[in-house]
Structure 1
Amino acid sequence: MKNVLTSLHNNNNMKNIAIIFSVVCTQLWSAQSVYLSKVEKTNDNADKFLYKKDQAETSAVYLGEAEVQGFSKDDAMVFSLVYKKAKEIGANTFVIKPFENIDGSPQAFNASNYKIALYYTPKEKLKVQEGAMYIFASSEKDQKINVNRKDYIVAPRTFLKLKIVPGEVYTISTKKLLGSTVKVQPKTNDENLYFQVSSLKIKPDASGVGGLNLKSGDVVGLDKSYAEFLSAIYTEKTP
């Protein structure tokens, strides 16, 4: 009887070990890391933002390169890691840098592995905003939204870019019984509006570093830095 109990105990231990090993392997497989793969120079600045670099801007100073390895659904966490690496070398702008095929042509963007070129761009050379509303889906499922009585469906990891008119009121709704409704009225063409529609409750960033969402709910106002990062790794869809 003692031998039987010992055998059962050992079997249970083996099952527990197998379960733990499986969980650890899954976490390692899905883990995402961000590291500086190249540093050409560093720059001393106190800029808190990290914006997309205008491709045509020639006065930007190339500082180095970060690489993202592994896929994660938590884009806010990924952005925070990228932001920290950028600030280690004083970068305030970035460009997604595609990997190349053998013939030198750029590969399609792969959210599981990509490079980010990091720059310092003088503030007076930053791209002027164009008066647009960006609406991002979550990373997991289609989102149905309504903007000024017009319906849209935004697929996972995509975004809409809608032209806005100064002075006009825009009402954004998730069309759910208990969903959010947001009304905004842009004053000029010199500002963009950024929102993410999600069924998840997103906690605001309290660190003060690389600010994320402005409030929690299913329509979330985004900080420009985070929004421009999403616009670089998500796909724009025609309304």
Structure 2
Amino acid sequence: MKNLAIIFSVLCFQFWNAQNVYLIKVEKTNDNQDKFLYRKDDTLSETIYLGEVEVQGFTKDDAGIFSLVYKKAKEIGANAFALKPFENVDGTAQPFNPANYKIALYYTPKEKWVGKDGMLYVFASSEKAQKISVNQKDYTLQPRTFIKVKIVPGEIYTVSTKKLLGSTIKVQPKDNKDNMYFQISSLKVKSDTSGNGGLNLKSGDVHGLEKSYAEFLSLIYKDDTPLK
């Protein structure tokens, strides 16, 4: 009986911690070979709505969830996404719930994507608060948050974990036409080897993020950039 109780507890734990991604609506499909999946640019008018996915259940494996969202998006030819908040009865948007949310999927012609003023993003891990510094300015990142720092071309940016045996990464952007993305983690991060979105530039507990995955994190994590 004791063994049965343990097995039942494990199964219940797995059930309540399981997260699934469902393609809940398909308005139309698009035939394209785009490998990227970026956050939708609200300034672009030539964007085609394709459908929606719904994420159900909470997990700390954000890379795994992104992989599932990516696969569903590519099934209908999407290359862009945006959060679609659930609504209250009065039509107002409900607060974001990491255990249940919807993502709208779109297609935007590649030639319509435009560069942005560059920002350096630093994401926390999904599990615990961490102290970091960016160019000797200290921050405390709460779990599932991120900060942004404006990029100045030619300037050296040093991202460091403030630990005795911590890690440091230095980068020097040549221009500010795109963003740079890093994540701080005290855990081992499993890289995505598919080439469709994952992790690279690993240096201890500072990891460079591929753009598609980073923009997904910017959707489901809270922007905690200090106000100036």
TM-score of the superposed pair, with normalisation by structure 2: 0.96
2:202 to 215, 218, 222: 215
1:143 to 121, 126, 130: 130
Percent of residue pairs bearing the same amino acid type: 72
User: Structure 2: how far apart are the matches of 1:102 and 1:171?
Assistant: 47
Q: 1:89 maps to what in 2?
A: 76
1:57 corresponds to 2:39: no
Q: Specify every segment of 5 or more residues in structure 2 that has no aligned partner in the other structure, as ranges.
A: none
Q: Which has the larger radius of gyration?
A: 1
SS at match of 2:199: coil
2:211 to 217, 224, 227: 224
Q: 1:172 maps to what in 2?
A: 159
Quick check: 1:204–1:214 contact (8 Å CA) kept in 2? no
Matched residue type, 1:70: G
User: Structure 1: how far apart are the matches of 2:107 and 2:23?
Assistant: 16
Matched residue type, 2:122: I
SS at match of 1:229: helix
User: Structure 2: how far apart are the matches of 1:181 and 1:193?
Assistant: 15
Quick check: 2:36–2:212 contact (8 Å CA) kept in 1? yes
SS at match of 1:152: strand
1:204 corresponds to 2:196: no
Matched residue type, 2:85: P
Q: In the superposition, relative to structure 1, how do residues 170 and 216 fare at CA in structure 2: closer, same or farther (>3 Å)?
A: closer
Quick check: 1:41–1:89 contact (8 Å CA) kept in 2? yes
1:101 corresponds to 2:93: no
SS at match of 1:195: strand
User: Structure 1: how far apart are the matches of 2:200 and 2:92?
Assistant: 36
Q: Specify every segment of 5 or more residues in structure 1 that has no aligned partner in the other structure, as ranges.
A: 1-13
Matched residue type, 1:238: T
Quick check: 1:97–1:115 contact (8 Å CA) kept in 2? yes
Q: In the superposition, relative to structure 1, how do residues 226 and 217 fare at CA in structure 2: closer, same or farther (>3 Å)?
A: same
Quick check: 1:131–1:190 contact (8 Å CA) kept in 2? yes
2:106 to 106, 119, 122: 119
User: Structure 1: how far apart are the matches of 2:151 and 2:196?
Assistant: 29
2:17 to 15, 30, 52: 30
User: Structure 1: how far apart are the matches of 2:200 and 2:57?
Assistant: 24
Matched residue type, 2:219: A
1:158 to 136, 139, 145: 145
Larger helix percent: 1
Is the deviation greater in 224-233 or in 143-152? 143-152
User: Structure 2: how far apart are the matches of 1:149 and 1:205?
Assistant: 31
TM-score of the superposed pair, with normalisation by structure 1: 0.91
Matched residue type, 1:166: P
Q: Deviations over 1:9-39 (max 9, x none)?
A: xxxxx11011101100110111000010000
Matched residue type, 2:160: S
Larger strand percent: 2
1:172 positional shift:
1.0
